[in-house]
Each structure stands twice: as C-alpha cells, then as structure tokens.
Amino acid sequence: MFSKEEVMKWLKRGGLALGVTCLVFLVTHRVALAADPTGAGSTEQAANYIWILICAFLVMFMQAGFGMLEGGFCRAKNVTNLMTKNLMDFAIGSLAFFLVGYAIMMGGDWHGLWGTQGWFMLGDYYDVDKYLNMFWMLVFCATAATIVAGAVAERMKFKAYLVYSVVVSVIIFPIFGHWVWGGGWISQLPFGLGGLDFAGSGVVHAVGGFVGLAGAMVLGPRFGKYAKDGKPQAIPGHSIALATLGVFILWFGWFGFNPGSTCDPHHLRISVIAVNTNLAAAAAALAAMLVAKWKTKKWDTGMALNGAVAGLVAITCACAWVEGWAAIVIGLIAGPLMYAGVKFLESKGVDDPVGAVSVHGICGLWGLLSLGFFADGTYGNYSTEAPFVTGLFYGGGGGQLLAQFITAVVVFAWAFGIGYLMFKIMDKTFGIRVSPEEELQGLDIPEHGTPAYPDFLTTRR
C-alpha cells in the first residue's frame, strides 16, 4: 500500500502539525478557576493526599525494580539497551498519559467504552484532586508499560519500543483501565458486583504480560535460544545481584501498589492488604523454589525471584477482599503456576527472556479468578460499607467468579489482540527486530554507542 518512507513522512508532518496546534492552544488558554488548582484542605483530605502520594511514589519506584530485574536477567551486552528502554517508557508514558491517556481512561464515560474529557489536564482538570488521580493512574500505566520490556528484550529495535510506549500509554492501558476502573462496561457486568480488580492483576499485569506475549511472538526467539533439535537452551542473566535487588524493590513498591489502592487511609483495611501482599509473595517464592528443586535438584534462584513477583501479581486483584490464609494459598498456587507457564511457553517456541508473560500474564489471570473463590465478604468495592465482595468458598455463589472469568477472557483478548496488531503493523512498516549482526554483537553498541560495562572483560557471548 504505502512505502515505509511515505508513512514516516506523513507521520512526521502530522506530529509537527499536532505539536504546533497544541502549543498555540496551551499558550493562549487561561487557567480555569472553576476547578481548584490551589488546594487548601482539611486534615482528613491531607491524610488522603499523603497516603495516595507516598504510595504513588512507591509504585513509581517499581520502575527501578523492573529495570534491575529485567537488566539482571539479560546478558551484559544488552544492558544499556534494556535500561534505556525502561527509562524511556516511563518518560514517554508520563507525557502521553498526562496529555491524552488519562482523558481516555477517567474523563467521564461514553457508552461504557472510554472517557472524553480532561485532554491535556486543562480547564476543570487543572484541579488538585484531578491531578492527584491522574498521577495515581499514571504510575499504574507505567508499570503495565515496563513489563513488556522484559518479554521483548535483547532483540527489539529501540525505535519500535518508543512507538510501543506511546500506544500502550494512550490506547491499550487506558481503554481497558476504563472498562474496569473508569466506570466502563466490565465494572457494570450483571454478575456479582461486576468485574473487580482491586489493584490491577488484570488491568496492569495481565495487560502488560499479554502485550509482551504478542511482542515475543512477533519477534520470534533470540539466536541461540533453541538448539538445532528445537530444544530450548538456558541463557542465564548477567547479574543475580541486580535481579535480586530488583525483586526487593518491586516487593517494596508493591506496598504502595496494593494498600495504596484504597486511595483512602481511613479504610483501615490497608493493614490487611499489606499483610496479604506480603504473604502471597512469600508463599509463591517458596513454592516456586521448591518445585524447581523437585524438578532440577537445584535451589533455583531465578525461579525463587520470579516466584516472589508471581505471588505479588496474583494477590493484586484480591488483596483487599481475602484473609491471610487465602493469600498464602493464592501464592502457593501462583509460584508453581508461574513455573509451569515458563516451561510451557518455552516448549511452544515463545522466547520470553525474563519470564514476564508467565509472571504477569498467567498469574494475572489467576489473580482475577482467585477473587471469585476466596473473597470473604468483609470488605466492599473500594468501600468499608456493604455490599461486600463474597466468593464461592464463603457462600457468595458463582456470580462473582463468572464476572472475574469474563474479565480474564477480555483482558487476554484485548491485550494480546491489540498488542499483536500493533507489533505486526510496525514490523511490516519498518521492522521491529534488529539485524542478526546487531543481535549477536549485543544491542548496546549499535543502538546506543555505549557498552554497559566498558571496564570489565566479558565472555562476549
């Protein structure tokens, strides 16, 4: 249809025109005083703001955790590339979500599909409450975005990753987020209390995981991942120290992710949420390590690390609605499930260098479903008042489980579908995989001109 040059030329012209329009608009606009950009608040409000902001800071810090975990699991020759991708998806996501994504996700509701107000956070959206809510949603958007970096690591062009960062921040995350958290159609399902996802097992993690699956599939496996006979080969990461640091940072940041999602510290339930978050991570790390020990006779560190994250992902949906023992069970299932997922995908020819699809995608689905079983009927839908969320094991009937099942199916279809389409279009237009020479050399020098560790002698695999 169109040549690559033509497409790029029109994209550039369109971008320029859009940029100039925005600039003119921004400079000529006036601050809306209908909203409250100044913000003199009560102590009750101050407590809410403290809670939400500090928790948001913790979630933002998870960017460092993902960078270290994914970087640690990569080879030294691709570390600069991985780190730069992690930095830039946050930078691009921060701008794109502020300008456009938030409006689509939370700017009112149009037929249950998306929002239509709050573009550029201007007018009534220049308001302390709106800015606060935007910031909260932004750090979740950025988490979804950065998950993909691991699945497509060591072979995707930097440019393609920049484009992807825009698409996930303005379309993939915001629209699904609207369906569940923005008053969209999933939240209105007539089963149970509608599709629920407390802090984002689905909205954040399954979205990231299955976009990553799409990316890994469109890219194909790395050189050397499969032997001539098709047997998968282990490609160990370059630094267990960084990977461990990454997991601890993620675990730490998750205490903002989950308890912070009450968006209100007057819900003292936050203590239960913190405990559940911790228990699931612990149980899953232990279970994943024990399964690996049983299978391989080694205390597999990589599986223990990914196990912890799998537990955190799994409990994210139900953390506010279950008891501590259920959090342990959810984690005990998540760890082996992650292990099985990694082996299954590997056997099917999907090369996911850090296990992101299994950790975030598969365990994200398990998280969505788990709520339908274990919700104990003591806490509401982001509320300390009835109706409370109740699952199958507590006599709540199967309605909630059905709503959760639908949510799980939809998140897979949406994230994988749009993700696949996006990567395919890019691949057809300008190609998303680096050249074989670049891949063998490592992406750091051809793409960035900087090896990550110039002072050290490496094995140069």
| Interaction residues for a copy of itself, span 257-316 (CB under 8 A) | 259, 265-272, 274-275, 278-279, 281-283, 285-286, 289, 296, 298-302, 304-305, 308
Which element (helix H / strand E) includes 408?
Answer: helix 399-429
CA–CA distance, 452 with 78 (Å, rounded to integer): 8
315-334 residues near a copy of itself, rule: CB under 8 A: 323-325, 328
What is the per-residue binding string for a copy of itself in 152-171, x denoting contact by CB under 8 A? ------x-------------
390: β partners: 376
By CB under 8 A, tell whether 244 contacts a copy of itself: yes
Are the beta carbons of 389 and 371 closer than 8 angstroms?
Answer: yes
Judged by CB under 8 A, the stretch of 108-116, 224-232, 252-260, 358-366 that binds a copy of itself is 252-260
Q: Which C-beta is closer to a copy of itself: that of 254 or that of 414?
A: 254
117-136 residues near a copy of itself, rule: CB under 8 A: 120-122, 126, 128-129, 131-132, 134-135
3-state class (DSSP) for residue 243: helix
51-90 residues near a copy of itself, rule: CB under 8 A: 51, 53-54, 56-58, 60-61, 63-64, 67-68, 71, 75-77, 79-80, 83-84, 86-88, 90
Shortest distance, position 78 Cβ to a copy of itself, whole Å: 10
Shortest distance, position 87 Cβ to a copy of itself, whole Å: 6
By CB under 8 A, tell whether 108 contacts a copy of itself: no
> What φ, ψ does residue 377 adopt, rounded to 5°?
75, 30
Shortest distance, position 110 Cβ to a copy of itself, whole Å: 24
Q: Which C-beta is closer to a copy of itself: that of 75 or that of 205?
A: 75
Which element (helix H / strand E) includes 191?
Answer: none
180-219 residues near a copy of itself, rule: CB under 8 A: none
By CB under 8 A, tell whether 381 contacts a copy of itself: no
Residue holding tokens 């497509």?
Answer: 152
Residue among 229, 266, 235, 217 nearest 419 (CA): 217
Shortest distance, position 91 Cβ to a copy of itself, whole Å: 4
Residue 27 CA, distance from chain mean position: 34
- Write the DSSP assignment of 287-343 as a string of letters: HHHHHHHHHHSS--HHHHHHHHHHHHHHHHHHTTTS-HHHHHHHHHHHHHHHHHHHH
- Write the DSSP assignment of 127-184 as a string of letters: SHHHHHHHHHHHHHHHHHHHHHHHHTTTTB-HHHHHHHHHHIIIIIHHHHHHHHHSS-
3-state class (DSSP) for residue 379: strand
Judged by CB under 8 A, the stretch of 180-188, 210-218, 221-229, 378-386 that binds a copy of itself is 378-386
What is the per-residue binding string for a copy of itself in 2-41, x denoting contact by CB under 8 A? ------------------------xx---x----xxxxxx
Shortest distance, position 40 Cβ to a copy of itself, whole Å: 4
CA–CA distance, 107 with 191 (Å, rounded to integer): 25
